[in-house]
């Protein structure tokens, strides 16, 4: 089996962990004709079972912790986590809010961070490309 | 004997290849219609390759033997279709053993396998998806049967052999049998069959069973890795088979006698290319154009459209053909 299988086919599942919706709209913007990530084979899927990449937005409030973990576990291996937005890294505009459990990397392992509040679609696409490289490595390790 | 064993395998592989190719063309063209660049045409093959590398998860609550059986059933059900429908302008492999009625029954199997898959994965999303699939299946069955029967009924007036046989349909193309009124009727039936195909393949606007946005993938929500690949390929084969069915019923013409090529191999190549072109045209109308132009219907609208509107429209087509016959 070729190791380049992931090279041009990547399915992405997006979970909103208490974000303000800013980042989510930027993720959707990457699908629009201006950026059109589908031309690289990147597709947004509706089920974590189909996904290769988990894109997490938001600072993770208390209610989301168990859900986030479950969604992460539902994704079949090999998988990577792409964390989009500043607030999932250290709280951002929600810094030290009473109901936050995040940042995201305290709950699930994060592979790629995309900073910005919200990040530009170009930045998100670059993050996905970085995730791709990691995914190839993960696939390689799984085979050998 | 050998052809009975090897033939189905070759047919299934060819069906999968061309089906995936057409899915790629579909994605590319729809992207162009929406002002995007779109993925390369070989994208579905890459998706398949990628899915093969992924882990296949079987959920704890699922009925695991049924969960694993359903994709195989779906794939086999779709592949068997190709044994009975003439493709590439040639006779179908098992043409003497089955006719359009058999195809009508066989068309249900992949959908049923999807329903089984949905119910066995014990996810609420999948259950809702399976119920929707059943409703859609029951709705389009009637206009589909009506169209096929109407064509065969008209052909039965001139042909001595069984009018449901694809060879009979090919010997007496429907368009050359009927007058102006009948042509209008046949055209109406063709449109009905094209729209039924959209539902049969669960494409937008009839893709309620898989509805990414509301049901998170619907029937297939729990499937991953190898099991998902089987459904993906089955869908491709079914797309190819449905388009071939329309061609077999309405456009059973081949190009080689027209351009005067008689040698065996060149005639085959010409016919096969012509057939692929016809498939592209059929898919362009019933999959791509509609998909690019429309949003998803609600489930009650779908059954109303198929049960009432489509049935009435195909009835009108049938009456037109009948009037054309008696006048
Ligand atoms: S990073 Fe900013 S824009 Fe993105 S979800 Fe957080 S607060 Fe909203």
CA–CA separation, B127 and A66 (whole Å): 24
Contact A114, A57 (CB under 8 A): no
CA–CA separation, A134 and A79 (whole Å): 9
Identify the residue whose tokens are 């992207």.
B31
How many whole angstroms from its chain centre is CA B33? 23
- Residues from chain B that touch A36, judged by Cβ atoms under 8 A, are 31, 36-38
Taking CB atoms and an 8 Å cut-off, how many pairs form between chains A and B? Answer: 88
CA–CA separation, B213 and B217 (whole Å): 8
Nearest neighbour of B57 by CB, restricted to A8, A36, A76: A76
Contact A99, A62 (CB under 8 A): yes
A94 pLDDT band, cuts 50/70/90, is confident
State the best of B54, B60, B229 to mutate against chain A, taking most chain A CBs within 10 Å. B54
Which range marks the domain in which residue A85 is found? 4-143
Q: Is B265 helix (H, G, I), strand (E, B) or coil?
A: helix
Overall pTM surpassing 0.95 (yes/no):
no
Q: How many domains does chain A have?
A: 1
Residues B31-71 pLDDT 10s: 888 888 888 888 888 888 888 888 888 888 777 888 888 88
Q: Is the pLDDT of residue A2 over 50?
A: no
Task: Report residues of chain B scoring pLDDT below 50.
Answer: none
Residues B82-91 pLDDT 10s: 888 887 767 7
CB burial readout B92-120, b (16+ within 10 A) else e: bbbbeebbbebbbebbebbbbbbbbbbbb
Determine if ligand 1 sits within 6 Å of the CB of residue A83. no
Q: What does DSSP assign to residue A144? A: -
CA–CA separation, B120 and B106 (whole Å): 22
CATH number at residue A62: 3.40.50.12280
ipTM above 0.85 for this complex: no
Peptide bond into A61 cis (omega under 30): no
Nearest neighbour of A50 by CB, restricted to B38, B43, B217: B217
Identify the residue whose tokens are 């779906």.
B74
**Which residues fall within 8 angstroms of residue B263, CB to CB, at 6 or more apart?**
none
Best CA proximity match to B42, nearest among A35, A2, A9, A52: A9
Count CB neighbours of B80 within 10 A: 21
Determine if ligand 1 sits within 6 Å of the CB of residue A127. no
């Amino acid at each position: 089996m070729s190791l380049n299988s992931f090279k041009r086919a990547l399915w992405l599942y997006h979970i909103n962990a208490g974000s303000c919706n800013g980042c989510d709209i930027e993720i959707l913007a990457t699908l629009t004709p201006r950026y059109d990530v589908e031309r690289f084979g990147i597709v947004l899927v509706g089920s974590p079972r189909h996904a290769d990449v988990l894109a997490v937005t938001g600072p993770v409030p208390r209610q989301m912790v168990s859900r986030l973990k479950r969604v992460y576990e539902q994704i079949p291996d090999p998988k990577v986590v792409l964390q989009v937005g500043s607030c999932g890294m250290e709280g951002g505009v929600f810094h030290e809010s009473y109901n936050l459990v995040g940042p995201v990397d305290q709950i699930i392992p994060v592979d790629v961070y995309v900073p910005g509040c919200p990040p530009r679609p170009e930045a998100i696409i670059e993050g996905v490309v970085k995730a791709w490289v990691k995914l190839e490595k993960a696939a390689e390790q799984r085979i050998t | 004997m050998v052809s009975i064993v090897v033939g189905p395998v070759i047919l299934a592989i060819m069906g999968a290849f061309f089906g995936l190719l057409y899915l790629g063309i579909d994605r590319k063209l729809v992207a162009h219609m929406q002002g995007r660049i779109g993925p390369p045409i070989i994208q579905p093959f890459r998706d398949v390759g990628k899915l093969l590398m992924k882990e296949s998860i079987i959920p704890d609550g699922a009925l695991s033997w049924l969960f694993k059986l359903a994709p195989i059933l779906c794939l086999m059900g779709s592949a068997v279709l190709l044994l009975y429908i003439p493709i590439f302008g040639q006779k179908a492999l098992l043409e003497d053993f089955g006719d359009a009625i058999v195809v009508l029954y066989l068309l249900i199997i992949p959908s049923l396998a999807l329903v089984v898959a949905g119910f066995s994965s014990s996810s609420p999303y999948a259950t809702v998806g399976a119920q929707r699939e059943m409703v859609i299946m029951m709705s389009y069955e009637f206009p589909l049967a009506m169209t096929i029967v109407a064509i065969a009924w008209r052909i039965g007036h001139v042909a001595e052999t069984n009018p449901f046989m694809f060879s009979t349909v090919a010997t007496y193309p429907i368009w050359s049998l009927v007058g102006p009124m009948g042509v209008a009727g046949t055209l109406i039936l063709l449109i009905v069959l094209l729209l039924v195909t959209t539902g049969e393949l669960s494409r937008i606007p009839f893709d309620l069973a898989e509805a990414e946005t509301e049901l998170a993938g619907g029937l297939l929500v729990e499937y991953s890795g190898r099991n998902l690949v089987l459904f993906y390929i089955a869908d491709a084969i079914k797309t190819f088979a449905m388009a071939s069915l329309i061609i077999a019923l309405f456009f059973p013409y081949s190009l080689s006698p027209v351009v005067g090529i008689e040698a065996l191999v060149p005639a085959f190549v010409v016919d096969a290319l012509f057939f692929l072109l016809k498939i592209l045209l059929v898919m362009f109308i019933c999959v791509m154009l509609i998909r690019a132009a429309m949003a998803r219907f609600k489930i009650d609208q779908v059954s109303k459209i198929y049960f009432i509107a489509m049935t009435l429209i195909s009835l009108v087509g049938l009456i037109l053909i009948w009037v054309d016959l008696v006048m």
